[in-house]
Amino acid sequence: MSTEPALMSLVAVAKAIASKEVSSREVTRSCLHRIAEWQPRLNAFMAIEAEAALKAADEADASLAKGNNRGPLHGVPLAHKDMYYDAGKVVTCGSLIRRDFVATTTSTALQRLKDAGSIRHGSLQMVEFAFGPTGHNVHYGAVRNPWNVDHITGGSSSGSGSAVAARLTFAALGSDTGGSIRMPAHFCGVTGLKTTVGRVSRAGAMPLSQSLDTVGPLAQSAEDCALLLGLMAGADPEDLTASTLPVPDYVAATKSSIKGLRIGVPTAFYVDDLDAEVARVLDETIATLKQEGAEIVSVELPDQRQLQGACQLVLAVEAAAFHKRWMIERPQDYGPQVLMRLQNGLAIPAVSYLEAMRWRGPALAAYLAAVAGTDAVIAPVAPMPAATIVESDVGNSLNAEAVIQRITRFTRPINYLGLPALSIPSGFTKTGLPVGLQLIGRSFDEAMLLRIGAAFQRATDYHQRVPKAA
Amino acid sequence: MTDVAGVPQTAEVAERIANSIGPAFEGFAPVAGTLPFDLEPASFLLVQTAKVST
């Protein structure tokens, strides 16, 4: 094999292992080699489990030699955001409070990937309790962007974005409550899928907001995300909020053309106050989608600022309720910024919270009416590329709160509506930072987003570009 | 308010909270107080799972 195995896509490496073109050990060693090279600069991994991973890889190879293929991810090493419970493993949730917490159960999403044959080679860094959009972590250090280590990865799935971009893992689970998959995908130049609320079980995943939390993958391509979603989605007796709707063949969906599809471009909010380079990438992406046969139409959306406000109210209250006991007993063990965000929820009246929850149905109905006749909407994930770590550090920069407010404004409305959104690498700035755009779909129509994303990725190579080690 | 929530805070923290969460209340203000009395309790799930043709 001429290509460094770690550089292959998830779909390609899984096929190569299954056909014995390459062994799980070779693949795992390739990832571990890259981790050794990159980890000191990126801080993307929380734990690296080289010995156990090689042992599991050898077992996978031995099993395959006997004709026993465990599933579509047989022998593929994966690492995930350190908030997915894995029985017997420490799961820190990026926090001091859970630094020594050993899970006694395995999350459904993770178990389904294991059942498909994947092996574990470590766990990935994250923002403390997934409550922050930049990638800073006062306890374990900021995760760095492999395209420029002075810049943020975005959060809260900071390690997932950084590690997938640097090709240290073929894919990673993230979670998205206010943009935590899409922002790292955008800032790090990888593909990230925020799923519909209820599409993937949340059993055994650290909670932040029960109404908004979603589980989803970050990977090189839409096709990789499709493979993972197909394995994870569906009903779960451990989580009755997981939908019983049938799980479509997402990988098959990625093969279809987008000729004749109608893609909406918002007339306001998502196109306001964009950095020039983000605006340029949006224009270029629209041109590519047109070239591929899609029809581009303007859509006038309901006021997205109201959705953003409602999202913040719901998130703040639900997060404070989850954390109340520790806020009383161990406030000193939180990072100051995370504690401040949690304290916000204490000041929101129950009536305001319930009003925000009651509005969710009518707000979703109004949004869907506005996008009727389109198959998806395209919008930037954020109005800017990755800020520097220094300028977005709330403890050290006077401008940081403004930066944080700006980077989260395009993601939160979608969480409030519970809709799926796919962030796809769509271009680069002149200084070499990635820019991603989000395709926003209808509830439970991830297949449409993956179809459009895959068509765009057949026409472009942004998702295949790999950052160079300095 | 934080006293009522069972996690009392200093005046300084209370002021910082007010500044921080203020924009969320402002954003939601046009909706607050406008919802109908007999809104279906599960309206979000109903809309989410409704069949839609494009």
A224-283 pLDDT, tens per residue?
A: 999 999 999 999 999 999 999 999 999 999 999 999 999 999 999 999 999 999 999 999
**A366 interfaces chain B, CB cutoff of 8 Å:** no
Mean pLDDT of the residues in chain A = 96
Indicate if the pLDDT at residue A2 is higher than 60.
no
Q: Is the pLDDT of residue A136 over 60?
A: yes
Q: Is residue A1 pLDDT above 80, yes or no?
A: no
A241 — contact with chain B (CB < 8 Å)?
no
Its ipTM equals 0.88
Model confidence at A316: pLDDT above 80: yes
Q: Report the catalytic residues of A.
A: 81, 156, 180
Are A83 and A93 spatial neighbours (Cβ–Cβ below 8 Å)? Answer: yes
Reported as a single tens digit per residue, the pLDDT across A107-132 is 999 999 999 999 999 999 999 999 99
Does the pLDDT value for residue A89 go beyond 80?
A: yes
In the predicted model, is pLDDT for residue B53 greater than 60? Answer: no
Residue A172: its H or E element: strand A171-175
**Residue A428 · residue A467 · CB < 8 Å:** no
Q: Mean of the pLDDT values across residues A144-154?
A: 98
Query: Smallest Cβ distance to B16: which of A340, A375, A405?
Result: A340
pLDDT digits (tens, 9 = 90+) for B2-18: 777 777 778 887 877 87
CB-based contact B27 A305, cutoff 8 Å: yes
Mean pLDDT, residues B35-53 taken together: 85
Contact (CB<8Å) A364/B6: no
A193 in B contact zone (CB under 8 Å): no
Q: Evaluate the CA torsion angle A207, A209, A215, A220 in order and state its sign.
A: negative
Closest CA to A463 of A448, A444, A450: A450
The answer to whether A324 contacts B7, with C-beta atoms less than 8 Å apart, is: yes
Q: What pLDDT is recorded for position A230?
A: 98
Tell me whether residues B27 and A444 touch, CB distance under 8 A. no
**String of b and e for A394-429 (b: at least 16 CB within 10 Å)?**
beebeebeebbebbbbbbbbbbbbbbbbbbbbbbbb
pLDDT confidence band for A38 (50 / 70 / 90): very high
Lowest mean pLDDT among A143-152, A250-259, A283-292, A395-404: A395-404
For residue range A407-445, what is the model confidence (pLDDT) as tens digits? Answer: 999 999 999 999 999 999 999 999 999 999 999 999 999
Helix (H, G, I), strand (E, B) or coil at A342: helix
User: Considering only CB atoms, which chain A residues are within 8 Å of B5?
Assistant: 320, 324, 346-347
The span from the first CA to the last CA of chain A, in angstroms, equals 25
Q: CB-CB: which of A197, A346, A374 is closest to B5?
A: A346
pLDDT in the model for residue B54: 45
Report the pLDDT value the prediction gives residue A3, as an integer from 0 to 100.
Answer: 76
For B47, the closest of A245, A365, A374 (CB atoms) is: A365
